[in-house]
Amino acid sequence: MKLRIGDKVRFLNEKGEGIVSRIKDNTTVFVEMSDGFEIPYLASQLVAIHTELIVDKNTDNIELIPDANIADAIYFVVEPDHEMPLLRNEYNLYLYNASAFYMLYTYSIKDDEYYQALKNGNVGPYQKILLKQVKIQFFKDFQQHTIEAVLFKNSHYRRQVPISESIYIEAKSLSTSDTIKHSNLNFRYMLFIKG
C-alpha cells in the first residue's frame, strides 16, 4: 500500500499514531506526531487508518480533481405564497447553497446610496436558509438586493473567488412572472429571476 501525504497512520511495533507530513523516498516517510515533531519511519512499519486529500502537487501519486462542479451554484430564490399571481400576498426570500462548500454570507439591500445588511450567517452544503418574509411593497421600496459570500470546506479545497452579486427585482415583474417548480430545490413555487 502506498502512503500519501495527509494519511493518518498507526505504528506496527509501538504505540502511537500521526499524520504523514512528507515522503522521503519509496520506503521512508516522515510522520508528524501530535506534539508537532516529525519522525522518519519505514513505510512498511506503518498502517494507514484514515486518508485525507493530498495537497502536495509535486508528489507522483496525486490526481487533482477540481472541487467546483458546473452544476454547483448559489441561488437567490423568491418564493411566492401562491401559484396564481392575483392571489399572491407574501414572498419568502431564500438563499440556497447548491454546492459542496460551506458558505458565509451577507444579504443586503440598497437604501438610497448606502447598503443595509438584513441578514448574515453561514449555510451548509446543499442547504437553504430563509432570509426574509416580505410583502410586495418591499420590492417597490428596495429593488437592489446584494449577496456577498465566501465559500470554504472544512478539509482541503481549492480557493474559491468570493461572491458579490446584485440582483435587481421590480415589483411589477413579480406580479406577472410565472412560477416554476424545481424538485431539487424543495420549494413550493419559485420565481426565476435573471440577474
- For the cut 90, the answer to whether the pLDDT of residue 44 exceeds it is no
The tens digit of pLDDT for each residue in 78-102 reads 888 777 777 777 888 999 888 888 9
pTM value is 0.57
Let me know if domain 8-50 sits in CATH 1.25.60: no
Say whether 73-191 and 8-50 share the same fold: no
User: Which CATH superfamily groups domain 73-191?
Assistant: Smr-associated-like (2.60.40.1600)
Cell of residue 61, nine digits:
501519486
Q: Which sequence spans correspond to the domains of the chain?
A: 8-50, 73-191
The tens digit of pLDDT for each residue in 116-130 reads 999 999 998 888 899
3-state secondary structure labels for all residues of 58-96:
CCCCCCCCCCCCCCCEEEEEEEECCCCHHHCCEEEEEEE
Contact 126, 85 (CB under 8 A): no
Helix, coil or strand: residue 2: coil
The tens digit of pLDDT for each residue in 6-35 reads 778 888 888 888 888 888 888 888 888 888
